């Protein structure tokens, strides 16, 4: 009996350890903070391409952290394509064309700096082209249940009184079509782009604007029902080009 109690106590301790093992250690949090600061400085041009970062001792002194923290932070930055670490040669900031622009942190800061709108237009074009491809691929793969759900969501969009509710329903419609296309990579890229653009600032919609957005999605639906992939893709391209960037981004 005592053995069973002892075994239970050991199991309880092991379960407690498992329950807390996911919690980040302080050093992990420190390395994330250091990495975020280095990424921000590089993308914003404070550390220009070709710049050699201070050695480990210098970085330790600057950030007031240990060498393991600096090493872990620099590995994170290197994985984003922003720096190259070479033993004996130091750490160098890479040219912009080598950055992993679709990395969430790199893309978010780059969009924030995009005063001329060139990057936003590129993002728009990429999203439009990917979604058009997925819509065309979805033809013949949408079930009757999918079409019933599509119609239900469109009806809810028309009845929505708040643009945020409308936006949530719009997302669900896009996701439904994406799933039917079977292209998981395109789906992931599209929603990363959408989320990062939304992070730029507050959005302002009018009732007339999202009424037109809803109507354009219905045109996509009609072409899908008819089995016309090219027309459905073209309608989705128009929906994105005419509606995704109609909102005004308000920066502080």
Domain boundary among 30, 64, 96: 96
Q: What integer pLDDT is reported at residue 206 of this predicted model?
A: 79
Tokens matching residue 3: 């053995």
75 with 184, same domain: the answer is no
Same domain, 74 and 184: no
Same domain, residue pair 146 and 213: yes
Q: Are residues 239 and 134 in the same domain?
A: yes
Residue 251 falls inside a structural domain: no
**79 and 118 co-located in one domain:** no
Dihedral, 20, 23, 25, 30 alpha carbons, nearest 10 = -170
Q: Report yes or no on whether pTM surpasses 0.85.
A: no
Q: Does residue 30 sit in the same domain as residue 130?
A: no
Kindly state whether residues 115 and 237 are assigned to the same domain. Answer: yes
Please give the Cα distance from 246 to 43 (Å, whole number). 27
Tens of pLDDT along the chain (252 residues) come to 333 433 444 344 444 444 334 334 455 579 999 999 999 999 999 999 999 999 999 999 999 999 999 999 999 999 999 999 998 789 999 999 999 999 999 999 999 899 888 898 899 999 999 999 999 999 999 999 999 999 999 999 999 988 888 889 999 999 999 999 999 999 999 988 988 887 776 566 778 888 898 999 999 999 999 999 999 999 999 999 888 864 444 444
- Give the domain-ending residue among 73, 96, 119: 96
How many distinct structural domains can be found in the chain? Answer: 2
pLDDT of residue 22: 37
Q: Report in angstroms the alpha-carbon separations of 24 from 8, 17, 28, 99.
A: 27, 13, 6, 27
- 82 and 137 fall within a common domain: no
Number of H helices, E strands in the chain: 11, 2
Domain that holds residue 156: 104-243
- Residue at a domain's end among 61, 96, 131: 96
Tens-digit pLDDT profile for residues 67-93: 999 999 999 999 999 999 998 789 999
Does residue 89 sit in the same domain as residue 65?
yes
Q: Residue 220 CA to chain centroid, in angstroms?
A: 25
> 165 in a domain, yes or no?
yes
């Amino acid at each position: 009996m005592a053995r069973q109690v002892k075994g239970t106590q050991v199991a309880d301790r092991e379960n407690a350890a498992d329950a807390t093992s996911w919690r980040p250690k302080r050093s992990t949090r420190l390395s994330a903070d250091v990495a975020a600061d280095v990424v921000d400085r590089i993308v914003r041009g404070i550390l220009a391409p070709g710049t050699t970062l201070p050695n480990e001792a210098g970085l330790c002194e600057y950030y007031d952290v240990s060498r393991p923290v600096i090493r872990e932070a620099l590995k994170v930055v290197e994985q984003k394509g922003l720096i190259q670490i070479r033993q004996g040669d130091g750490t160098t900031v890479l040219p912009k064309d080598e950055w992993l622009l679709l990395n969430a942190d790199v893309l978010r800061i780059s969009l924030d700096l995009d005063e001329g709108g060139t990057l936003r237009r590129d993002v728009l074009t990429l999203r439009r082209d990917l979604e058009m491809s997925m819509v065309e691929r979805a033809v013949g793969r949408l079930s009757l249940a999918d079409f019933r759900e599509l119609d239900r969501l469109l009806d809810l969009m028309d009845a929505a009184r708040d643009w945020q509710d409308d936006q949530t329903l719009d997302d669900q419609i896009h996701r439904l079509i994406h799933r039917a296309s079977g292209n998981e990579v395109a789906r992931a890229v599209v929603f990363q782009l959408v989320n990062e653009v939304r992070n730029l600032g507050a959005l302002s919609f009018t009732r007339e604007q999202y009424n037109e957005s809803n109507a354009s999605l219905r045109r996509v639906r009609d072409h899908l029902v008819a089995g016309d992939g090219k027309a459905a893709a073209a309608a989705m391209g128009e929906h994105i080009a005419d509606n995704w960037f109609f909102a005004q981004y308000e920066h502080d």
